C-alpha cells in the first residue's frame, strides 16, 4: 500500500496553515501510489485539532500525551520513527518550516530515508516519485527523482499550495506514545514574542520595501525620501533587516510580518518566496528590480526593470511635482 | 570550547540573471562572483564571539575548490584558528545527506563542544546539512538559531520561528547549531588578521584522507537523482513600464497619482 503520512503542525494551541496546505498535495500523491492519506498529530490535549483534521475526510493518528505539551523535534522524531515502522507509509510529508527544518533531516538520517527538502511539486511517474524544488532563490527549478525505497521523505514549502475545503468525516485513531520519559539532552525552555516597534507595518496602507539591491545604508535616503512623499512606511526583506538598515520589526516575510497594504512598492527585492509569502495581501504591488527574471515580477502589478538607483530619485521628484 | 564551523563557497545570484548549460544539468556559474554563504558568514562571527568569551579554538570546515581558499583565509583572518578544505569530485554534492556524511567524516573522532553551520545555503537553499550532521555525529541540535547563550556546560539556543516568535531550547554539549542570518554583526577582517591568516594551518584533504568510503557518499550512495534543471517561466501579469530610467519614473509617478494610489 502506498500510504502518505502527513505530520500535522501546530503551535500554541493552533494548527498551522502548512498542515492544510499539505492536504492539498497529499491526496493526489496517495492516489497515484494506490494508498490513502494519514495525518499524524502529536501533542497534549489535542482532541479538537484531531476533529478538525478528521473533517477533511482523513484518518488521523493521534499521540496525545503530556510529554508533548511543548514542541520538541527530538521527541517528535521518536514518534515518527515508531509510526514509520508500524504503518510503513510510502511517503512522509512535513512542512519546510522552523519545525520541519529542525526535524526532517535528522529523521532522514536515522531511518535512512531518501529525502528532498522544500518541495513545490510532487508527481508520480511510472511509480517513481519526482519532486520539484527551487534553487538559486527561485531562479532555477530542479526536478529530483527518488530511487526505489520503502519510505521516502519530503518537506513542503509554506504557501506553495492552497489549502482545500473540509470534506467528509474521517476517523481518529489514538496510538500509544513510544516515548515514556522526557529527554535530558534537549529541553524546551520558553517562547519569546517579538518586540513591538514604533510602527506596526501590518496596519500600514502604503509600504515602501527595500532589499539587498539598495546595496548599502548610505543609500537609505533614496527609499526614505520616496516613502515620505508617498506617505508610506518603510519595510524590508530579511537581507535589509539583517544588514541593520531597518529594525527587525520592519521585516516582511515568513519569519517577519505579513502585510496587507493598498500599495506596496518594493525596490531591489528579488522576491524570494519567504518575502512573497508576506505580501500576498497587498492590493497593488509595484516592483523595481534590474533582473528581468526576478521572481518578484511574478506577483507584481507594475514592473520597472531597471537600476533602482537611477529610477527612484527621479520617481520621488516626479511625485513631488504631481502632488504639488 | 572547541568549535567546528562549516562554511560554503557559493555564487552570488541575488541580482544576476541565471543561465543553464546547454544540457540543462548545471548552472552556468562562469559569470558569477563567489563568496561565503550569507548564513555561514554569521556562523563564523558567532563562533569567534564564543571563542573570545569562552576561550578555545575554531576550526573551519569547507567542501570546495581551490578558489574557495580566499574565503577560508578570510574566516581565519577574523579569528578562526585553522581549517580543513575537502575537495573530491566523487561527493554527490546535490544531496545534503551525502555532504553531511563527508563533513561528519572530518569531525568524527575529534573532541568538540560545538559545531556551527549556516542554517541554509544561498544556492540550493535546502536547510538540511547541519541538522543531518548532528544526527550522524549523534549529538543534539537546534536549527535557525538567532541567539546563543552558554552556561554550566549547556547551550541555550534561541530558534527563530515564523512571525518573529523565538523558541528557546536547552541542549547538552556537544551540540550542533545552525545559525540564522542577523544573529550578530559580522566583523571586517583586521589587516593584522589578514596577515596572520596566511600563516595558519589550512589542510587540504580528500575522501581517502578522511577515511570516508567514496561508496558511502557518491551518486550511487545517494538515494535521490537530480534529473534536470530548468528556468521556470515567470508568469507575470505585470504591466511592464518601458523607457529610459527617467521616462519609467515619470510614467510610474503618473500611474500612481492618476490611479489614486498615493
Strand partners, B9: B36
- The CATH number that applies at residue A235 is 3.40.50.1220
Instruction: Give yes or no for B225 touching A (CB within 8 A).
Output: yes
Question: Of A159, A94, A254, A113, whose CA–CA distance to B97 is shortest?
Answer: A113
| Number of neighbouring beta carbons within 10 Å of residue A279 | 25
What is the arrangement of strands in the sheet containing A233-236, beginning at the earlier edge strand?
Answer: A233-236, A206-210, A263-267, A284-289, A302-305, B239-240
Question: Of B143, B134, B139, B133, whose CA–CA distance to B167 is shortest?
Answer: B143
Question: Of A67, A144, A78, whose CA–CA distance to B135 is shortest?
Answer: A78
Q: Is residue A180 part of a domain?
A: no
Residue B211 has pLDDT above 90, yes or no: yes
The dihedral built from the CA positions of residue B164, A192, A179 and A44, taken in this order, carries a sign that is negative
Chain B neighbours among A 229-268 (CB < 8 Å)?
229-232, 238-239, 241-242, 244, 248-249, 251, 254-258, 262-263, 268
Q: Is residue A189 part of a domain?
A: no
- CA nearest B176 in A: which residue? A102
Instruction: Give yes or no for B19 touching A (CB within 8 A).
Output: no
**What is the C-alpha separation between B97 and B203, in angstroms, rounded?**
23
Quote the pLDDT of residue B12.
Answer: 87
Q: Give the residue, B5 or A139, on which the prediction is more confident.
A: B5
Quote the pLDDT of residue A62.
Answer: 98
Yes or no, beta carbons of A117 and B143 under 8 Å apart: no
Task: Say if residue A10 is in the same domain as residue A48.
Answer: yes
Task: Say if residue A169 is in the same domain as residue A32.
Answer: yes
Enter the pTM of the model: 0.95
User: Of A174, A192, A227, which residue constitutes the final position of a domain?
Assistant: A174
Q: Is residue A48 part of a domain?
A: yes
**What is the C-alpha separation between B5 and A8, in angstroms, rounded?**
33
Task: Say if residue A209 is in the same domain as residue A315.
Answer: yes
Task: Say if residue A224 is in the same domain as residue A89.
Answer: no
Which residues are CB-contacts of B8 (< 8 A; sequence separation ≥ 6)?
A: B36, B37, B40, B62, B63, B64, B118, B121, B123
Phi/psi at B175 (nearest 5 deg)?
A: -155, 160
Q: Is residue A163 part of a domain?
A: yes
Q: Is residue A282 part of a domain?
A: yes
Yes or no, beta carbons of B249 and A254 under 8 Å apart: no
Length of chain B: 262
Q: What class, spelled out in words, does domain B2-216 have in CATH?
A: alpha beta
Q: Which of A116, A242, A263 sits opposite B262 (nearest CB)?
A: A263
Residue B55 has pLDDT above 90, yes or no: yes
The mean pLDDT of B134-146, rounded to a whole number, is 98
Q: Which of A193, A258, A301 sits opposite B239 (nearest CB)?
A: A301
Please list every residue in chain B whose beta carbon sits closer than 8 Å to the beta carbon of residue A291: 15-17
**What is the C-alpha separation between B69 and B225, in angstroms, rounded?**
29
Yes or no, beta carbons of B167 and A191 under 8 Å apart: yes
Please list every residue in chain A whose beta carbon sits closer than 8 Å to the beta carbon of residue B140: 74, 185-186
Domain, as residue range, for A168: 4-174
Task: Say if residue A150 is in the same domain as residue A223.
Answer: no
Query: ∠ CA A145-A149-A151 to the nearest 5 degrees?
Result: 100
Quote the pLDDT of residue A196.
Answer: 82
Instruction: Give yes or no for B52 touching A (CB within 8 A).
Output: no
Question: Of B141, B138, B139, whose CA–CA distance to B130 is shortest?
Answer: B141
- The CATH number that applies at residue A141 is 3.40.50.620
Yes or no, beta carbons of B140 and A297 under 8 Å apart: no
pLDDT tens track for A94-136: 999 999 999 999 999 999 999 999 999 999 999 999 999 999 9
pLDDT tens track for B146-180: 999 999 999 999 999 998 899 999 999 999 999 99
The dihedral built from the CA positions of residue B99, B100, B102 and B106, taken in this order, carries a sign that is positive
Yes or no, beta carbons of B15 and A212 under 8 Å apart: yes
Q: Is residue A240 part of a domain?
A: yes
Task: Say if residue A238 is in the same domain as residue A97.
Answer: no
Q: Is residue A238 part of a domain?
A: yes
Q: Where are the domains positioned within chain B?
A: 2-216
Yes or no, beta carbons of A118 and B141 under 8 Å apart: no
Task: Say if residue A147 is in the same domain as residue A213.
Answer: no
Quote the pLDDT of residue B31.
Answer: 84
Confidence band of B223 (pLDDT split at 50, 70, 90) = very high
Yes or no, beta carbons of B140 and A185 under 8 Å apart: yes
Instruction: Give yes or no for B127 touching A (CB within 8 A).
Output: yes
Residue with cell 497515484: A32
Q: What is the DSSP letter of A24?
A: H
Cell readout for B248 is: 519609467
Q: Is residue A195 part of a domain?
A: no
Which residues are CB-contacts of B194 (< 8 A; sequence separation ≥ 6)?
A: B73, B74, B77
Q: What is the DSSP letter of B243?
A: S
Task: Say if residue A216 is in the same domain as residue A302.
Answer: yes
Instruction: Give yes or no for A322 touching B (CB within 8 A).
Output: yes
The mean pLDDT of B122-140, rounded to a whole number, is 97
Strand partners, B62: B7, B85
Instruction: Give yes or no for B241 touching A (CB within 8 A).
Output: yes
Quote the pLDDT of residue B30.
Answer: 83
Counting one residue from chain A and one from chain B, the pairs whose CB atoms sit within 8 A come to: 283
Residue B16 has pLDDT above 90, yes or no: no
Cβ(B157)–Cβ(B145) under 8 Å? yes
Task: Say if residue A103 is in the same domain as residue A35.
Answer: yes
- CA nearest B121 in A: which residue? A136
Please list every residue in chain A whose beta carbon sits closer than 8 Å to the beta carbon of residue B102: none
**How many Å separate Cα A63 from the centre of its chain?**
25
- Helix segments in chain A, DSSP class H: 17-33, 47-54, 73-87, 98-111, 220-230, 238-242, 273-276, 308-323
User: Does residue B110 sit in helix, strand or coil?
Assistant: coil
Question: Of B83, B121, B80, whose CA–CA distance to B100 is shortest?
Answer: B121
Instruction: Give yes or no for B117 touching A (CB within 8 A).
Output: no
Quote the pLDDT of residue A298.
Answer: 93
Confidence band of B222 (pLDDT split at 50, 70, 90) = very high
Provide the Cα torsion A211, A216, A217, A220; round to 10°. -60
Task: Say if residue A148 is in the same domain as residue A12.
Answer: yes
Q: Which stretches of chain A drop beneath a pLDDT of 70?
A: 1
**What domain count does chain A have?**
2
Q: Checking DSSP bridges between strand B166-172 and strand B154-160, what pairing results, if any? A: antiparallel
Cell readout for A298 is: 511574478
Task: Say if residue A152 is in the same domain as residue A101.
Answer: yes
Task: Say if residue A148 is in the same domain as residue A275.
Answer: no
Yes or no, beta carbons of B165 and A304 under 8 Å apart: no
Amino acid at each position: 500500500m502506498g500510504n502518505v503520512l502527513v505530520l500535522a503542525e501546530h503551535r500554541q494551541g493552533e494548527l498551522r496553515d502548512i498542515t492544510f496546505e499539505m492536504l492539498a498535495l497529499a491526496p493526489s500523491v496517495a492516489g497515484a501510489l494506490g494508498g490513502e492519506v494519514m495525518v499524524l498529530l502529536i501533542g497534549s490535549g489535542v482532541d479538537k485539532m484531531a476533529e478538525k483534521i478528521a473533517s477533511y475526510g482523513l484518518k488521523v493518528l493521534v499521540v496525545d500525551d503530556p510529554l508533548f505539551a511543548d514542541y520538541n523535534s527530538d521527541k517528535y522524531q521518536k514518534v515518527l520513527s515508531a509510526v514509520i515502522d508500524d504503518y510503513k507509509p510510502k511517503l512522509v510529508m512535513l512542512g519546510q518550516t522552523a519545525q520541519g527544518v529542525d526535524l526532517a533531516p535528522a529523521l532522514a538520517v536515522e531511518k535512512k530515508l531518501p529525502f528532498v527538502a522544500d518541495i513545490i511539486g510532487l508527481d508520480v511517474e511510472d511509480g517513481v516519485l519526482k519532486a520539484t524544488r527551487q534553487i538559486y532563490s527561485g531562479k532555477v527549478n530542479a526536478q529530483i527523482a527518488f530511487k526505489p525505497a520503502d519510505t521516502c521523505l519530503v518537506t513542503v514549502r509554506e504557501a506553495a499550495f492552497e489549502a482545500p475545503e473540509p470534506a467528509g468525516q474521517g476517523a481518529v485513531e489514538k496510538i500509544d506514545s513510544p516515548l515514556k520519559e522526557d529527554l535530558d539532552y534537549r529541553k524546551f525552555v520558553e517562547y519569546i514574542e517579538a518586540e513591538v516597534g514604533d510602527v506596526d507595518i501590518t496596519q500600514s496602507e502604503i509600504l515602501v520595501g527595500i532589499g539587498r539591491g539598495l546595496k548599502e545604508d548610505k543609500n537609505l535616503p533614496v527609499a526614505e525620501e520616496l516613502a515620505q512623499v508617498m506617505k508610506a512606511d518603510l519595510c524590508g526583506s530579511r537581507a535589509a533587516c539583517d544588514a541593520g538598515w531597518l529594525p527587525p520589526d520592519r521585516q516582511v516575510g515568513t519569519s517577519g510580518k505579513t502585510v496587507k497594504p493598498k500599495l506596496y512598492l518594493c525596490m531591489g527585492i528579488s522576491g524570494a518566496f519567504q518575502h512573497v509569502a508576506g505580501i500576498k495581501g497587498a492590493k497593488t504591488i509595484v516592483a523595481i528590480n534590474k533582473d528581468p527574471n526576478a521572481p518578484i515580477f511574478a506577483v507584481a502589478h507594475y514592473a520597472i526593470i531597471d537600476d533602482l538607483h537611477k529610477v527612484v530619485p527621479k520617481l520621488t521628484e516626479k511625485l513631488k511635482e504631481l502632488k504639488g | 570550547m572547541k568549535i567546528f564551523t562549516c562554511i560554503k563557497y557559493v555564487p552570488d545570484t541575488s541580482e544576476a540573471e541565471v543561465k543553464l548549460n546547454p544540457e540543462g544539468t548545471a548552472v552556468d556559474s562562469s559569470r558569477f562572483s563567489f563568496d561565503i554563504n550569507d548564513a555561514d558568514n554569521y556562523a563564523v562571527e558567532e563562533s569567534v564571539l564564543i571563542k573570545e568569551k569562552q576561550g578555545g579554538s575554531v576550526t573551519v570546515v569547507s567542501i570546495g575548490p581551490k578558489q574557495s581558499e580566499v574565503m577560508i583565509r578570510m574566516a581565519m583572518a577574523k579569528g578562526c584558528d585553522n581549517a580543513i578544505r575537502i575537495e573530491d569530485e566523487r561527493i554527490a554534492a546535490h544531496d545534503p545527506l551525502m555532504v553531511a556524511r563527508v563533513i561528519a567524516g572530518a569531525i568524527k573522532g575529534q573532541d568538540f563542544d560545538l559545531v556551527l553551520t549556516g542554517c541554509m545555503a544561498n544556492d540550493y537553499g535546502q536547510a538540511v546539512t547541519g541538522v543531518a550532521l548532528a544526527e550522524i555525529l549523534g549529538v543534539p541540535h537546534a536549527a535557525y538559531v538567532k541567539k546563543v547563550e552558554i552556561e554550566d556546560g549547556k547551550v541555550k539556543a534561541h530558534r527563530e520561528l515564523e512571525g518573529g516568535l523565538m523558541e528557546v531550547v536547552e541542549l547538552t554539549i556537544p551540540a550542533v547549531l545552525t545559525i540564522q542570518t542577523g544573529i550578530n554583526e559580522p566583523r571586517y577582517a583586521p589587516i593584522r588578521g589578514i596577515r596572520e591568516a596566511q600563516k595558519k594551518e589550512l589542510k587540504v584533504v580528500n575522501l581517502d584522507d578522511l577515511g570516508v568510503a567514496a561508496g558511502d557518499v557518491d551518486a550511487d550512495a545517494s538515494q535521490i537523482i537530480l534529473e534536470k534543471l530548468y528556468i521556470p517561466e515567470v508568469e507575470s501579469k505585470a504591466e511592464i513600464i518601458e523607457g529610459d530610467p527617467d521616462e519609467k519614473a515619470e510614467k510610474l509617478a503618473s500611474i500612481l497619482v492618476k490611479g489614486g494610489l498615493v
